[in-house]
Structure 1
Amino acid sequence: MVGRLDDRRSRPGRDADNVNAARERPALRTILFTSILVLVGIIVASPSSAGDKPIFGGELSDDAAHISAGRSEELARRNLVVPPEERLVDYERAPYCREAAGMWVKGFADGSCPDGADLARTSVQCEEGDTLVMPMWRHERATPTSPWGPWDDIDPGGCGVDLLPVLTEADFRRLPLPAPVLTMQPDRGWVLINIETIVYTDPTPVTLRTDLLGIGVTVEATPTRWTYDFGDGHDLVTRNPGQPHPDHDVFHEYESPGTTTITLTAEWTGRYQIDGSPIWRDINGTATTTATTAPFTIEERTSRLVSGLCTDKPKPPDC
């Protein structure tokens, strides 16, 4: 679910990713979260200032573009299906290290730096329970027998949650969210003009399961806003789920006789949790579901005096 971004570095073998991707086999559908969060607690190494660029095998050009941590992680995962001896591209997460001469160099995968080099400081702050992730580096070769080129950093690292797949608004809308509960009072097939027709719903959240890129996901969806279409040209938008009689506070009074229905549209917001991660993430967007009552009539009733009880048998003619 991570959007595709292009790595615009100008270097030999820039199509190597495509070569490797063509060799992919349908495997590795599951990913251990612990392997994604490389080295819990390691400080993410990044340059201490925007103008102090890291250098390894040559200075980064001004138009060099980092891709997102999630995108680089996706590329690294795809690369794993290619045997090491056949790979034209390789990836590794390692810190930025600064040598005494002021040169930025790639550190080691265990989070340490070469002798005489210091680990870079970081300004990244992650949510409680999340971990810091080191920058991603990549090097390439033209053929499986060619020597490897220099390491280039392709993402600056971040937080473990940045490497997880994202549940998008489109994904959320594809989930089997239930129709809202729509209750009306009275519910007897007819209502009266100028008398309150009561409506209410159930605001209880629902929990669903799905998967993203083969990783299990728990989704919690909550209805937060409701729109009632009363079928007579009047709508009501509310965040109040309403209550039944006699504590009702959401209702409508019809003004003319006829036959109609009431349609309720619920707007859902959501959050999700990736299996293996303690972090709940908000879904950027909403989804809607609807429910409609059976048709009913709107009737006008008038009162008048009668000589007897209308329940008498035979019924009095003036009833």
Structure 2
Amino acid sequence: MEYKFIAIPDCLLSIGTCFVLSAIFISSLYVWNSHHDRDHSSTIKKRFLSVFIVMLISPAFVYFAINKETLEKRTLWHILGLRTDGLLQALLLPLFLTMVLFTGPIYMQRYNGSLKMYADPSYWTTNIRNLIWLRNHIVAPLAEEFTYRSCMLPILLQCFSPMTAVFVCPLFFGAGHFHHVIEKMKKGMKFKHAMMVSCFHCFYTTIFGIYSAYLLLRTGHFASAFIVHAFCNHMGFPEFHELVNYEKKQKILACTVFVVGFVLWCLFLNPLTEPTLFHHDLHL
């Protein structure tokens, strides 16, 4: 997909549009007058409604901010990555690639026995009725990827090179997580500690955002970013501290698996995201 670069004033408009979109997304979480924390069922339901409304209005920002010549070549839905051609590959290949990256954590789950729970039907039937699980694995990845990737990346591609846009886009996503400082302080955490935790959260969400934006850019599919986000939310940040409790041989083996997984991910990253596999015409 080719984007025509626009003048500096219009480029500032693109960045401003992304900033406004991010502000609207975060603000929508706090429009409700509630004394409950983020994990309370009433809070979760209200925030579900908020982010779905934001998802409905976000394409309008893209429509008005995107270069009209681009809209003449592609439909708005195609620009947003909502298309069917290459959909199966877009779901399976990025997920497999990300599982390779998480080979170490998956091995740790096998070692501690938690990997078996996925074969238990009750695990799925219980979680599908759990609002926190639905938020973390379905709604949050759906809303965040659509707003911060599908809507913002096409806008930024107008004034940045593809790889620069991939690095700029996640800055809005990472910075958006600083709102958790408020919630942490409400739970009694001191400001300094809350800021340190949020800075770390901002850092690794920005790193993930770069990866997610790259997948969307290469595959041209929103589905790729969504499925990978859901998987990463499930796995969480690798719990490296657990390795100290392993026996020496198991510790060496686990560390080796981590390294091998990362090396294989680096080797497979470009081949498994080759745009032609997804019937996408953007070549990097």
**Normalising by structure 2, what TM-score?**
0.24
If each structure's strand is expressed as a fraction of its own residues, which one has the higher value? 1
**Normalising by structure 1, what TM-score?**
0.22
User: Larger Cα Rg: Structure 1 or Structure 2?
Assistant: 1
| Structure of greater relative contact order (alpha carbons < 8 Å, 6+ residues apart) | 2
